[in-house]
């Protein structure tokens, strides 16, 4: 977007949860709670929030002169704003360890300061904190940074979030009430998806740039048959000397069910010779296991959102995808799931990889011996 002359000045309240998303690549399915965060760090988790925050801010560079930022202190937004050369005011106190109370207090201060839009970098847990502090007082936009992103408040990528913000400020983009969803992390780690609606936030809406809330596939008789047909075909095509990295979902679980293997419903498992060799693996375990070996990735899109990478399966990271190779990615999806999706999406955090996947598209198995090439938005 090229900045026209004399754009009206707008103010963004910019807030970063510095630990959001750290549990993804290490397979912890979230970082809610200090004990889980410490475990993530012990497993070698790295912060991804700063990189994603900087990507968002960099995409706002064309309109930098017409923006004022009010940011959280230290690692909660100030560090990223300084690096990207923005003019800003600081709210809160810089801390080595931040909390949900810090998020809520800073967000309340931003609202009181009269910001036009609150933009936060985090996941569903951060969204709930923003909901408590902001409610429907000020529009809110999420930059996807967490592990669990079931809420309908998030842009599909950090760059998309910048486009939404600009189009809202100067393009007349409408607002809607977006669902704030979250799951029970402990139940999630145990393979049970227990999602709850916590409320609504006002948010700018542009259909191809904002993700929907996650939807479960209805388990009709036709759906079950379709899943079984896909699984039978995948099993017939499995080679004994190839490691299969199989992502979460009911469609992928059907593959293991027919092989009489107990798959992790909401995790990533490794198969060799049609048997599970490792359950609920993280990025490091995957990379160590497939090093020097031929491997394939099998994933299914998230219902209602269409993401095949970057939501709920961050263990299959950009490093894993590049090591496996783009030709060795197989997507499985029933016909009814595809019919309900507007497009397939990726958000690996590796911009070049996302572009490569978008250009190439992916092979999608939709029934027994039925495949199609589908482009990625």
Q: Which of 343, 118, 116, 353 is nearest to 211 (CA)?
A: 343
Buried b (16+ CB within 10 A) or exposed e, 343-354: ebbbbbbbeebb
Q: What is the pTM of this model?
A: 0.71
- Encode the chain in three state secondary structure: CCCCCCCCCEEEEEEECCCCCCCCCCCCCCCCCHHHHHHHHHCCCCCCHHHHHHHHHHHCHHHHHHEEEEEECHHHEHHHHHHCCCCEEEECCCCCCCCHHHHHHHHHHHHHCCCCEEEEEECHHHHHHHHHHHCCCCCEEEEECCCCCCCCCEECCHHHHHHHHHHHHHCCCCEEEEEEEEECHHHHHCCCCCEEEEEEEEEECCCCCECCCCCCCCCCHHHHHHHHHHHHHHHHHCCCCCEEEECCCHHHHHHHHHCCCCCCCCCCEEEECCEEEECCCCHHHHHHHHCCCCEEEEECCCCCCCEEECCCCCCCCHHHHHHHCHHHEEEECCHHHHHHCCCEEECCCCHHHHHHHHHHCEEEEEECCEEEEECEC
Report how far residue 136's alpha carbon sits from residue 154's, in angstroms, rounded to the nearest whole number. Answer: 16
pLDDT of residue 26: 47
Report how far residue 78's alpha carbon sits from residue 70's, in angstroms, rounded to the nearest whole number. Answer: 9
Query: Is 221-374 a CATH 3.40.50 domain?
Result: yes
Report how far residue 358's alpha carbon sits from residue 377's, in angstroms, rounded to the nearest whole number. Answer: 6
Please give the distance of CA 142 from its chain centroid, rounded to a whole number: 11
Q: Which of 74, 48, 51, 245 is nearest to 147 (CA)?
A: 48
CB 155 within 8 A of CB 140: no
Could you give the residue range(s) of every CATH 3.40.50.2300 domain in the chain?
Answer: 10-204
Report how far residue 240's alpha carbon sits from residue 237's, in angstroms, rounded to the nearest whole number. Answer: 10
CB 266 within 8 A of CB 247: no
CB 22 within 8 A of CB 116: no
Per the document, the length of the chain is 377
| Mean pLDDT per 10-residue interval, the chain, length 377 residues | 70 93 54 54 66 94 94 95 94 88 96 97 92 96 84 91 96 93 61 72 91 66 90 94 94 92 89 95 95 96 86 92 96 90 88 93 93 88
Fold of 10-204: Rossmann fold (3.40.50)
Dihedrals φ, ψ of 240, to 5°? -70, -25
């Amino acid at each position: 977007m090229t900045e026209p002359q004399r754009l009206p000045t707008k103010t963004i309240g910019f807030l970063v949860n510095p630990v959001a998303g750290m549990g993804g690549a290490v397979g912890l399915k979230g970082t809610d709670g200090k004990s889980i965060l410490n475990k993530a760090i012990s497993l070698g988790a790295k912060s991804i929030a700063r990189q994603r925050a900087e990507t968002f801010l960099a995409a706002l560079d064309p309109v930098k002169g017409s923006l004022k930022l009010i940011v959280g202190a230290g690692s909660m937004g100030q560090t990223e704003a300084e690096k990207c050369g923005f003019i800003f005011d600081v709210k809160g106190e810089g801390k080595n360890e931040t909390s949900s109370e810090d998020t809520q207090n800073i967000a309340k201060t931003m609202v009181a300061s009269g910001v036009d839009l609150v933009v936060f970098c985090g996941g569903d847990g951060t969204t709930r904190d923003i909901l408590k502090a902001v409610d429907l007082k000020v529009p809110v936009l999420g930059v996807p940074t967490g592990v669990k992103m079931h809420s309908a408040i998030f842009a599909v990528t950090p760059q998309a979030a910048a486009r939404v913000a600009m189009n809202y400020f100067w393009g007349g983009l409408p607002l809607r009430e977006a669902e704030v969803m979250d799951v029970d992390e402990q139940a999630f780690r145990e393979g049970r998806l227990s999602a709850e609606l916590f409320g609504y936030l006002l948010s700018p809406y542009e259909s191809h740039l904002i993700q929907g809330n996650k939807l479960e596939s209805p388990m009709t008789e036709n759906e079950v048959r379709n899943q079984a047909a896909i699984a039978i075909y995948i099993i017939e095509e499995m080679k004994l000397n190839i490691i299969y990295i199989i992502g979460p979902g009911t469609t992928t679980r059907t593959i293991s069910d027919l092989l009489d293997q107990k798959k992790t419903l909401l995790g990533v498992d490794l198969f060799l010779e049609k048997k599970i060799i490792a359950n609920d693996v993280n990025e490091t375990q995957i990379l160590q296991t497939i090093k020097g070996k031929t491997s394939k990735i099998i994933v299914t899109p998230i219902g209602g959102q269409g993401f095949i990478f970057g939501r709920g399966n961050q263990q299959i990271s950009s490093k894993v995808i590049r090591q496996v190779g783009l030709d060795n990615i197989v997507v499985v999806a029933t016909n009814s799931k595809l019919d309900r999706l507007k497009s397939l999406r990726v958000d690996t955090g590796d911009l070049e990889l996302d572009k490569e996947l978008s250009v190439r598209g992916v092979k999608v198995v939709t029934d027994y011996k039925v495949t199609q090439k589908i482009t990625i938005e």
